[in-house]
Amino acid sequence: MKIVACNSNLPLAEKVASELRMPLCNVSVRRFADMEVFVEIHENVRGEDVFVIQSTCAPTNDNLMELLIMLDALRRGSARRVTAVMPYFGYARQDRKSGPRTPISAKLVANLLVEAGANRVLTMDLHAMQIQGFFDIPVDNLYAAPLFTRDIKGRIDHGTLPYLAPPMSIPGGFQNLMIVSPDVGGVVRARQLAQRLNVDLAIIDKRRERAGVSEVMNVIGDVRGRYCIMIDDIVDSGGSLCNAAAALVKEGAVAVEAYVTHGVLTGGAVQRIAQSPIGMLTLTDSIAATEAVAQATNIRQISTANLLSRAMRAVSDESSVSSLFD
């Protein structure tokens, strides 16, 4: 078993390698003068079970090309099996024809990964479950819900939100907690977390006129006097999340925060969230934190390294991955 890291999220790759008590494979990923990607593997991978860690986040196309070229290099180096570990799967939001003469880019990316030499894909919280069917190779889709559940339970067991100054109590603990889906499409994800915590669920009914612009229509569920935690897979511009938080406060929620797997956070998203009613946005490190995210007072990250390392070990040992979520 060998672990290879490309450039998109080196801190996470180093944490995963540390969890597995293995060194990262000695590779070079660099650019020619015209910005072509060049990859060189400096150790023998013949017959090895190789895991390539690379999120296809911004700069999306550069990171995708790095991954494809690395997969090709490993295949030509006679690796026995190559698993593309993609904590964040870019292009996942283009999973269907949204209008006439539009692409299904998620399917195209799936084809590219297979043709480049991936024998298996390991990812986390795919935006659409049907993307697994775009591949003709095994796809393991991990869930951040266990991480979120553990984090929320730990904070409630301590009776405070320790990252706020001064610490703020959660009135009523679990009895006063409510999980909220910021849109109808995320109800399944939010319901699973609500069931894990044994708390109530509310839903934000919204209408999206175009990409990046949404309008809150209605809050389904009584959130008055409740401590609301919104659950989502991706936060991009932050507009939908901030609008949903404002709607919850308007309906009487005592406080609002959010747990989101992938913090894309483009444009002025960090500033928008800082000025919103969201007390704290908790992200995973599937996408490396930018300087703006690191400096934000109401954004924090929790690590996926332990979950990814356990899944990688299960794949290598040919044991159950789904048991990680029992």
The answer to whether the annotation marks 117 as part of a ligand binding site is no
The answer to whether the annotation marks 151 as part of a ligand binding site is no
Q: What are the E-state strand segments in 186-298?
A: 200-210, 213-220, 227-235, 255-263, 278-284
206 catalytic? Reply is: yes
The answer to whether the annotation marks 221 as part of a ligand binding site is no
- DSSP label at 205? E
Strand partners, 248: none
The answer to whether the annotation marks 132 as part of a ligand binding site is no
The answer to whether the annotation marks 301 as part of a ligand binding site is no
Strand partners, 204: 219
The answer to whether the annotation marks 183 as part of a ligand binding site is yes
Tell me the chain's radius of gyration from C-alpha atoms: 20
Starting at the earlier edge strand, list the strands of the sheet with 177-181: 213-220, 200-210, 177-181, 227-235, 255-263, 278-284, 299-302
Strand pairing category for 27-31 and 2-5: unpaired
The answer to whether the annotation marks 200 as part of a ligand binding site is no
The answer to whether the annotation marks 157 as part of a ligand binding site is no
Q: How many CB atoms lie within 10 A of CB 105?
A: 14
DSSP run (H or E) holding 274: helix 269-274
Cβ–Cβ under 8 Å, residues 283 and 260: yes
The answer to whether the annotation marks 240 as part of a ligand binding site is yes
The closest of 232, 290, 220, 298 to 261, measured between CA atoms, is 232
| Single-letter amino acid, residue 109 | V
The answer to whether the annotation marks 42 as part of a ligand binding site is no
The answer to whether the annotation marks 236 as part of a ligand binding site is yes
The answer to whether the annotation marks 232 as part of a ligand binding site is yes
Residue 234 CB partners (closer than 8 Å, separation 6+): 93, 127, 260, 261, 262, 264
Choice among 2, 15, 107, 206 that is catalytic: 206
Which residue ranges make up the annotated binding site for ATP? 34-36, 93-94
- Give the residue ranges of the annotated binding site for D-ribose 5-phosphate: 208, 232, 236-240
Active site residues: 206
Query: Annotated binding residues, as ranges?
Result: 34-36, 93-94, 127, 183, 208, 232, 236-240
